[in-house]
Chains A and B, each alone.
Chain A
C-alpha cells in the first residue's frame, strides 16, 4: 500500500531557475534564497521518497489559451522541460509514474474529480524550479514525479476548498495503490507577488506568515478564503497559493511542521517554503536536524532552520 509521508510547499519563481542555470547561486542576492533550501535538500536525501506528486501551474507552456484545464494530471512516462522563450532549461527530463498516475486519475474521477488526463506534456519552471530546490541539480531526478497542473492563469482558478478536497481524493487514491510506495506531495507557487500591471511588486509578508501558520494549524479554515482576498492582499499572481491547499488536503488533519523558510524578494516574489510531516506514526525516516519551534519564524530575510524534534 502506498502512503503519503509528507508535504512540501515552495515558491517556483522563474528567476530562481535562471540563477541556477546561470550559476549565480553564490551571489549574495541568491545565496540568501538558496540557503533556505539547504536543509530541505538534506531532508529529501534522507527521506528518499519513491514518488513525488507535484501540484504546480503551467505558465503558458504546455497549455495556451486554446485549452485551459482546471486540473490536469500527467500520466506520461516522461515530461521534457519546455522552452519558455529562453530555450529549455538545462535540467533533466522529468520521469513520470504512469501506473500510479493512472491509478490516481481513475480513483479521483470515480470520487467526483473530473481530472483532465495528459499523456504528452512539457513542463516549465513551475515544476522544475521546486524540483531543483528540493533535490539540487542532479544529472537525473532521484525519483519519478507525477505532475498535476492547476489553472491559475485565467480567472477563476479552482477554489481553495476544491483544491483541498482534491488533495483528499489524491490521498485516498494513493492509499489504495497496490505497491508499497512512500510519496511526498509538493504544493508550489506563491507566496505574495504581483508581476502584472502598475501594482507589480506587491508583497505582503503579514499575509504570507498568516498563511503559513494556517496551513499547518487550521487548513480547512484557510482553504475557505475567497479568491478576492488572495488577489487583493497577496497580489494578482499570489492566487497561485490555492495550489498549496491540494498538498495540505493530501496530508493528515494534524501534521508536524518540520521546517519553514521565508525571504523577500526573489525577483518580484516573496519566497515561502514549508515541510509538513504526516502523523505521529509517520513512516518517514528520522529527521536529521532540529531547531527552534515554528512560532519564532519571522518574515525576515534571513534563512531560518526550524525543525521540531520528532517524538
Chain B
C-alpha cells in the first residue's frame, strides 16, 4: 500500500494544481461514495436519502471521513477521498444543483463570480498548469522542453504565426 502510494505521487498529473485525478487508487478508495451516488439515479432512493441521510449512507460502508464529507456536501473532500465528479454530481442533482453550481462551490467562489468568470472566457491556464511551476513559466518555452508536450506547443506557435 505504502509502495503503491509513493508510485502514485510520482505520476506527473499529481503536479496539476486544484485537481484530483480519478485513478485506480481513488476508485478503490471511493467505491462506496460512488456506489451511493449511483443509487441516487432512482427517484425512490433520492427520496429515501433525503428522508434520513445518515441512515441511508450506512448501507454503503463509507469511512467516517467520507460520511462526513457527504453530509456536509464538501465536494472537494469527496473527490479527495475517492469520489468522482460524474458520480457526486448525482448528489448535486438530488439537491437540485447543476454541474456549474457544484463547480463554483468547489472553487470557493460565489455563484455570481463563477458565472462571470466563465462568461469572460473561463479560468486561464496561465499560472494554473503545475504546482511545481515546471510548466508555468513562459508557456511555449516551458512546454517545448519535455518531448511529451512539444506538440501543442508547436501548434500554438504555428497558429500564432499564421495570424
Contact A228–B148 (Cβ < 8 Å): yes
User: How many angstroms from the CA of A205 to the CA of B34 in the assembled complex?
Assistant: 32
Contact B151–A82 (Cβ < 8 Å): no
Contact B122–A210 (Cβ < 8 Å): no
User: How many angstroms from the CA of A206 to the CA of B76 in the assembled complex?
Assistant: 28
Contact A64–B35 (Cβ < 8 Å): yes
Contact A201–B118 (Cβ < 8 Å): yes
User: How many angstroms from the CA of A235 to the CA of B102 in the assembled complex?
Assistant: 16
Residues of chain B within 8 A of A194, CB atoms compared: 19, 103, 123
Q: A262-298, CB under 8 A of B: which get 1 and which 0? A: 0011011010000000000000000000000001000
Contact B118–A265 (Cβ < 8 Å): yes
- Of A86, A200, A225, which is within 8 A of B152 by CB? A225
User: How many angstroms from the CA of A205 to the CA of B17 in the assembled complex?
Assistant: 19
Asked if B144 is at the interface of the complex by the 8 Å CB criterion, the answer is no
- Report the contact-size class of chain B (Cβ under 8 Å from the partner): 35 or more
Contact A202–B122 (Cβ < 8 Å): yes
Q: A204-216, CB under 8 A of B: which get 1 and which 0? A: 1111011101100
Given contacts A60-B87, A85-B41, A86-B93, contact A155 B21 (CB under 8 A): yes
Binds A, one of B50-58, B66-74, B155-163: B155-163
Given contacts A199-B16, A209-B159, A214-B155, contact A60 B86 (CB under 8 A): yes
Contact A233–B129 (Cβ < 8 Å): yes
Contact B38–A197 (Cβ < 8 Å): no
Residues of chain A within 8 A of B159, CB atoms compared: 206, 209-210, 213
Between A and B, 16 residue pairs with Cβ closer than 8 Å are A15-B99, A60-B84, A64-B34, A65-B35, A82-B41, A84-B90, A153-B86, A195-B102, A196-B20, A196-B103, A198-B106, A203-B124, A227-B13, A232-B16, A232-B125, A295-B162
